[in-house]
Amino acid sequence: RSVRLSELFELEKAQNARLDAELLEAHKDCLETRQQLDEAVLQGNLFPLLNSVSSQGDEMRERLKNIENDYELKLKEMSEAKNDTKWRLGEVEALLAHKDWQLEQEKKNYQKLLENNSNDKPVNSEEIQRLNDQLIRKTEEKNAADWKIGELKQLWNDAKW
């Protein structure tokens, strides 16, 4: 999933660069048309140029509208990706909280067992080994969940731009 989000971000960057270039080109065309209009006014050839400017203006409006629509679509896609990432981050944080709770419960059980055995009861090495193994597994699960949270936070920070 993180690879997919990274790919989406890279595609977004490329798309934004393309749209910025189109916008820059549209502004350049507008400036050129303005220069032509100024020259035509000075030379008295205004009517043919006005027809040309009118058709170019319609073209530019259409191009700008397309660019605006592309930006709105990309913004919507990025917002959805951001919300998906926030949701997944919440899920992982809840999982981590649950693993922390389980780990604490196992520590308490282990401590109780040690206290009970210190009261002149014979030591049950199998039970201690089982609890030690459980404690190790829970610690590994917690570390894996911490790692996932770190990855998701990095994706979240990347998504903010």
pLDDT (tens digit per residue) in 39-69: 766 666 656 666 676 777 778 788 888 888 9
* pLDDT for 36 beyond 70: yes
Which residues, including other chains, have CB under 8 Å from residue 79's CB and lie 6 or more apart?
A: none
What pLDDT, on the 0 to 100 scale, is given for residue 107? 85
Span 113-127, average pLDDT: 68
What pLDDT, on the 0 to 100 scale, is given for residue 33? 80
Assigned token pair, 123: 């030591």
What pLDDT, on the 0 to 100 scale, is given for residue 106? 85
* pLDDT for 119 beyond 70: no
* pLDDT for 17 beyond 70: yes
Per the CB < 8 A criterion, the answer to whether 106 and 140 are in contact is no
What pLDDT, on the 0 to 100 scale, is given for residue 118? 66
Span 100-118, average pLDDT: 82
The number of helix segments (H) and strand segments (E) in the chain equals: 3, 0
Please tell me whether residue 45 adopts helix, strand or coil conformation: coil
* pLDDT for 161 beyond 60: no
Please tell me whether residue 124 adopts helix, strand or coil conformation: coil
- For the whole model, what pTM was predicted? 0.42
The per-residue pLDDT of the chain, averaged, comes to: 80
What pLDDT, on the 0 to 100 scale, is given for residue 40? 66
